[in-house]
Amino acid sequence: MDERGVRIDGASEERGTPPGLTTTLMGRESELARIVDVIDGDRSGPRAMLLLGEAGTGKTALLAAAAGHARGTGSLVLASRGCEAEVEQSFAALHQLLLPLLPEVDELPEHQREALKAAFGIVAATRQHGPMPLRVGVLNLLARVSWSRPVLLVADDVQHFDRDTRDVLGFVMRRLAGHDVTALLAARGHTPPDGLNPDLPVLSLAPLSRRAAARLLDAQPQPPTGRARIDLLEQAAGNPLAIIELSRAVRAGQAVPGGGLPQTLRIQEMFAAQLRALPAGTQRLILYAAASSDHEDLETIMAAAGAGPDLGVWAPAEDAGLMTIAGGRAAFRHPLVRTASYDGAPAHLRQQAHADLAAVLDADPARRAWHLAAACPWQDESVAAALEDTAELAGRRGGFFAAARALERAAECSPGAADRARRYAKALRAAQNAGDPSWVRELYDKVTALTADRDLLGVAACGAGIALSLSGHQRQGFQVLMSALEPDPPGDGMTVLALAAVLQAVAFQSGLPEMRRPIAALLDGLEAGGRETPYAELTTTEAFEAVRAVALAGADPVQAPELLRRIRRRPGTQEPPTGIADLTRLHAAGGIAWYADESDLCVESFRQAFALLTAYGSMGNAAPSLAAMVSALIDTGRWAEAEEQLEETATLAAVQKLRHLEIDVEALRTTLRALRGQPADLPADPAWTAVGLRENRATHARLLRAAGTAAAAAGDFDGAFRHFRLLFGEDGVPLHYFLSHRSIADLAAAAQRTGRQEEGARVVAAVRAALGARPTTRMTLLLHHAAALTGEARDAEHHFRLATVNPAGEQWPLARAQARLHYAQWLRRKRRPLDARPLLATALESFTRLGARGLADEARVELRASGVAAAPAPADPLAELTAQQRQIVRLAARGLRNREIAEQLMLSPRTIGSHLYNVYPKLGVSSRHQLRDLFDDL
């Protein structure tokens, strides 16, 4: 139990590890489950699988986990690993594989026994043996052993097996059907080695997802934070070995001058020998490729290195499997090859490589500036200014992360303290927009150590305040913000507005009234200015007014409807939103609509803002509103889209270590599962104790709502009432000033089910008083619903009718359907089944369409009891699709072609076409143009 009574139990978020298998490989749960299915599968058919992937993708770890599982079930595990030094020795790998079975060889027929012993060098070959006795002997040996116990063959690094062993294995695996023998093989690369069955089932190991990579990094001892964390994840590119080894190197302090990531002895042992074996000219080109960014083309690299146009100099690196040269690009086959090449070179050669690259990039000032900085071992104002110009360009394009890196490096190159502080402050703002709270906190410390300028400190406090908030430290974030406002506020009004907007986000997450009080006074009389400002997102009057309005709405949500009306009255641009100021206006409008309970507008505004942010490559300051977006999607019945948004938010939270957002995701996911009638326990996570719920009341409220919804779905109405009741104090004061009120109908329903109507009525009265004379339409409907369930019996029908007849209520289909169900149940108790039937039929249709199975079953039972045989209404066909399939279908419905969808989702056009072909029957459509009819919001 937590400090307010929330029970947190259940399974972890990443499911898929087979029952009984204790080994968990982060990000490889589904692959491990597939492998175990092969081991435990049907004995009547062949059981074999080939794992393919680049070095470090986890092939060996998966084989080890599978072997452990097999041993735990009583199987005999025979293992062999290819060795490059033995690749020319016939049957070397086969001897290693069958070594434990050599005592059984004497039981074989004589000619097979002799062939086996001769192949392994146990006896001298007295005569020449053909290949068949040996192959059949191996097959019979395995078959004999499998009669007494299952056998698992584990063959790793098959690409280094001698060809004779591969031929024998290919023969044996084609004939294992009917025997209790499973074969698991692994090879480096993307194509099966020669000699194996061409129809052997293949499991290709792709790079880890961003979320899984972040989880693996967090599992390492003392993982890096801030910029080093993001750099590491980018350079590792989802490769598990790269993540582990680079994290070890960072921990050991093996930093590389110029911002590169470090190298470790183990990685050097893997690749340094191969690199040293290459010709000097090839090594030089690889170093220049390693020093370049991914943007440098092959022509630029070769020109900088002084090489001619002959590509033959790359051939040794291609033959060694270190590089791929194609399409005018030089690509590293493994992310650690780049690191090994760069870090293995002497410092003066690295410096020369960057200087040479800068010399040939005159037409590209941005890339040239970066190479000049990498070649600069001291402070240089010209280099700093060039980097600052690069950052300005990146910022205008929405490249927040690139801008932050350039500005931080510019600050490091700045000779003067004032310029250094200014550039660090600008870097902090860019890092804030990039959504990296750890990096922001590092930069904040640098700014405050260099300057006492109130405007610069205000800029820095904005970033630090939101960073601390996203990390769950609301009180500390509030203190940082107020330190920039008191005793002397910044002179720039835009900085004051930015501080107030961040203060509103901190106040909402904390739920503490003292954090909302200063906001209105800060914004009183503040007007949009026409002079220069460091805030590009506030350069338009529309953006300024929208941000001001959302800050006021967050401070006092009762004002939100009027503030929204003012914003919507302002003439807007007819052009599609593209710039940072447009994005800010849209995002702020979504926040005001959220506070004003205009859920459809909230969804649409956030949708447009998030689309722009995704195009920029970062959610940035939108992170605090992601949970609001998911809540609005759930409330408006867009559950498939809510699930997609939850997955994206979970990934962002894991990568950026946004602890309270991770918990919000789990609370909302549990709520959605409960509404769908699925098992919905909150996952156990001891790390959640790192987030103090007393200063994160928004998260606490979401946890309580999730626990209450799950309890109600399970029929535990006592538990449901207990959780919903904790959303309010004994006197009815809400735990959270905004979120608690939205659960008032749920509390009333639980109170009515448990005979606690009187206690529920007191809370309803307190909420009504808190919302004033003109609550939002949504709250008006919820209060009527709650009053009907807990108020005076003579007024119940009056409140039920007011809760169900307003057409605006269709914006919230779940709440409307629940009100109709409860009204119909009340009518049935009053012996008015004919009046109840249309309400039940409509509620049943809504629940079924939403996918709320438990509530649909309840409505169906009530409908039968009222004398109607209820036929099941059609369910939402999109609910049967995976999150990725729903995303593909939505993009296709918008008119995007397969290639355009593939570019957005980083998949192949063929994969997109295959997904669409497979989902058409599930959706009941036969062509692409019919997909649009499945969505109400396109």
Q: Give the span between the Cα atoms of 214 and 114, in whole angstroms.
A: 54
Same domain for 756 and 856, yes or no, is yes
**Closest among 487, 518, 526 to 502, alpha carbons compared:** 518
The rounded distance, in Å, linking the Cα atoms of 758 and 537 is 50
Would you state the pLDDT for residue 374? Answer: 82
**Together in a domain, 742 and 889:** no
Spatial contact of 90 and 38, defined as CB atoms under 8 Å apart = no
Q: Is the pLDDT of residue 700 over 90?
A: yes
Tell me, what CATH number does 59's domain have? 3.40.50.300
Which structural domain, as residue segments, surrounds residue 153?
A: 29-204
Note the pLDDT of residue 653.
83
Q: b/e map of 258-272 (b: 16 or more CB within 10 Å)?
A: bbbbbbbeebbebbb
Mean pLDDT, the chain, integer: 82
The answer to whether the beta carbons of residues 622 and 587 sit under 8 Å apart is yes
Q: How far apart are CA 904 and CA 747, in angstroms?
A: 43
Domain end point (choices 161, 177, 204): 204
Check: CB of residue 15 under 8 Å from CB of residue 29: yes
Q: Where are the beta strands (DSSP E) in 32-111?
A: 48-53, 76-81
End-to-end C-alpha distance for the chain, whole angstroms: 43
Name the pLDDT band for 258 (thresholds 50, 70, 90).
very low
Res. 219: pLDDT tops 70 = yes
**Is the domain of 196 the same as that of 293?**
no
Is 909 among the domain residues? yes
Give domain status of residue 360, yes or no. no
User: According to the model, what pLDDT value does residue 388 have?
Assistant: 86
Mean pLDDT, residues 295-316: 85
Whether the per-residue pLDDT at 257 is higher than 60: the answer is no
Q: For residue 892, name the pLDDT band (cuts at 50, 70, 90).
A: confident
What whole-number distance in Å separates Cα of residue 134 and Cα of residue 165? 11
Helix axes 131-146, 110-119, angle to 10 degrees: 100
- With vertex at residue 154, the alpha carbon angle to CA 153 and CA 159, rounded to the nearest 5 degrees, is 120
- pLDDT, one tens digit per residue, over 134-174 is 888 888 888 888 888 889 999 988 888 888 888 888 888 87
Rounded to whole angstroms, how far apart are CA atoms 615 and 856? Answer: 39
Span 880-909, average pLDDT:
75
Q: How far apart are CA 152 and CA 808, in angstroms?
A: 63
pLDDT beyond 60 at 659: yes
Closest among 685, 609, 613, 675 to 642, alpha carbons compared: 675
CA distances for 73 relative to 21, 52, 76, 179, 328, angstroms = 10, 26, 9, 17, 52
Buried b (16+ CB within 10 A) or exposed e, 357-391: bbebbeebebbbbbbbbbbbeeeeeebbbbbbebb
Residues 6+ apart with CB under 8 A from 710: 670, 671, 673, 674, 680, 681, 682
Token pair in block for residue 803 = 């809760």
Exposure string over 536-549, b if 16+ CB within 10 A, otherwise e: bbbbbebbbbbbbb
Comparing 344 with 690, the larger pLDDT belongs to 344
Q: Are residues 200 and 335 in the same domain?
A: no
Higher pLDDT, residue 155 or 56: 155
Who has greater pLDDT, 330 or 680?
A: 330
Q: Give the closest residue to 481 by CA, choosing from 449, 451, 450, 517.
A: 517
Tell me which H or E stretch contains 154.
strand 151-156
**What pLDDT shows up at residue 10?**
31
276 in the same domain as 195:
no
Is a pLDDT exceeding 50 seen at residue 478? yes
- For residue 149 the two structure tokens come to 């116990």
pLDDT digits (tens, 9 = 90+) for 830-863: 989 899 899 999 999 999 988 899 999 999 998 8
Residue entry with tokens 């699709």: 881
In the DSSP assignment, the letter for residue 786 is H
CATH number of the domain enclosing 844: 1.25.40
Instruction: Give the pLDDT confidence score for residue 2 in this predicted structure.
Output: 39
830 with 725, same domain?
Answer: yes
Three state DSSP letters for 895-921: CCCHHHHHHHHCCCHHHHHHHHHHHHH
Q: How far apart are CA 690 and CA 471, in angstroms?
A: 9
The answer, yes or no, to whether residue 671 has pLDDT greater than 90, is yes
Both tokens of 140, joined, read 């019979």
Contact of 356 with 373, CB cutoff 8 Å: no
The confidence score (pLDDT) of residue 574 equals 46
- Name which residue leads in pLDDT, 86 or 126: 86
Strand partners, 187: 52
More confident residue, 584 or 198: 584
Same domain, 107 and 171: yes
Percent share of the chain, pLDDT over 90: 28
Per-residue pLDDT at 129 exceeds 80: no
In this structure, are 845 and 885 located in the same domain? no
Q: Are residues 909 and 772 in the same domain?
A: no
3-state secondary structure 862-891: HHHHCCCCCCCCCCCHHHHCCHHHHHHHHH
Instruction: Give tens-digit pLDDT for 307-355.
Output: 888 888 999 988 887 888 887 888 887 767 887 888 788 889 988 998 8
**Amino acid 124: pLDDT:** 66
C-alpha–C-alpha distance, residues 804 and 784, integer Å: 9
- Structural tokens at position 247: 């994290």
Distance (Å, rounded) from C-alpha 424 to C-alpha 409? 9
Residues in contact with 598: Cβ distance below 8 Å, sequence separation at least 6, in sequence order: 564
How many domains does the chain divide into? 4
β-sheet bridge partners, residue 80: 155
Q: Is residue 11 predicted with pLDDT exceeding 50?
A: no
Tell me the torsion sign for CA atoms 588, 594, 596, 601: positive
**Structural domain contains residue 882:** yes
Cα–chain center distance at 15: 15
Assigned domain for 46 exists:
yes
Give yes or no for residue 441 having a pLDDT over 60. yes
More confident residue, 531 or 28: 28
Buried residues in 144-161 as b, exposed as e (16+ CB within 10 A): ebbeeebbbbbbbbbbbb
Of 160-174, 444-458, 511-525, 597-611, the poorest mean pLDDT is in 160-174
Q: Which residue has the higher pLDDT, 897 or 500?
A: 500
Q: Is residue 337 located within the same domain as residue 286? A: yes
- How many Cβ atoms from other residues are within 10 Å of residue 85's Cβ? 8
In sequence order, what are the residues at sequence separation of 6 or more whose Cβ sits closer than 8 angstroms to the Cβ of residue 269? Answer: none
Give residue 223's pLDDT: 85
Asked if residue 645 has pLDDT above 50, the reply is yes
How confident is residue 593, by pLDDT bands cut at 50, 70 and 90? very high
Q: For the residues 27-32, what does the mean pLDDT come to?
A: 84
Q: What is the spatial distance between Cα 644 and Cα 633, in angstroms, rounded to a whole number?
A: 10
Closest CA to 700 of 671, 732, 657, 739: 739
Is the pLDDT at 573 greater than 50? The verdict is no
What's the pLDDT band for 927 if we cut at 50, 70, 90?
Answer: low
| Sign of the alpha-carbon torsion through 328, 333, 339, 345 | negative
Percentage of the chain exceeding pLDDT 70:
85
pLDDT higher than 50, residue 813: yes
Q: Please give the residue that has the higher pLDDT: either 334 or 747.
A: 747
3-state secondary structure of 102: helix
Residues in CB range of 445: below 8 A, 6 or more apart: none
Q: Which residues on adjacent β-strands are paired with residue 728?
A: 734
Res 802 pLDDT > 90 = yes
pLDDT at residue 826 greater than cutoff 50: yes
| DSSP-derived pairing of the beta strands 48-53 and 181-188 | parallel
Contact between residue 182 and residue 40 where contact means Cβ atoms under 8 Å apart = no
Is residue 480 in some structural domain? no
In a domain, 891, yes or no: yes
User: Do 814 and 914 have their domain in common?
Assistant: no
Supply the pLDDT for residue 515: 94
Secondary structure (H, E, C), 239-266:
CHHHHHHHHHHHHCCCCCCCCCCCCCHH
Segment 361-417, tens digit of pLDDT: 888 787 788 888 888 888 888 888 888 888 877 766 556 777 888 888 889 889 999
**Residue 666: closest CA among 210, 214, 212, 13:** 13
596 occurs within a structural domain? no
Query: Residue holding tokens 């009762």?
Result: 558
pLDDT greater than 50 at residue 556 = yes
Indicate the residue type of 522: L
Which of 345, 374, 406 terminates a domain? The answer is: 345
HSE-up of residue 497 (Cα within 13 Å, Cβ side): 24
Res. 873: pLDDT tops 60: no
Name the one residue in this structure whose structure tokens are 């006021």.
552
Report the predicted TM-score, pTM, of the whole model to 2 decimal places: 0.72
Residues 884 and 852 in one domain: no
Domain limit, last residue, from 345, 371, 396? 345
Kindly state whether residue 454 falls inside one of the protein's structural domains. Answer: no
Element (H, E) at 182: strand 181-188
pLDDT at 88 over 70: no
Residue with the bigger pLDDT between 622 and 450: it is: 450
Residue 109, pLDDT above cutoff 90: no
Do the strands 329-332 and 323-326 form a parallel or antiparallel pair, or are they unpaired? antiparallel
pLDDT > 50? residue 8: no
- Looking up residue 907, the CATH number of its domain turns out to be 1.10.10.10
State the pLDDT at residue 152. Answer: 92
| pLDDT band at residue 17 under the 50/70/90 scheme | very low
pLDDT per position as a tens digit, 280-292: 899 999 999 888 8
Average pLDDT over residues 910-932: 70
For residue range 505-535, what is the model confidence (pLDDT) as tens digits? 999 999 999 999 999 988 887 776 555 666 7
What's the average model confidence in pLDDT over 49-65? 86
Does the pLDDT at position 1 exceed 60? no
At residue 7, the pLDDT reads 34
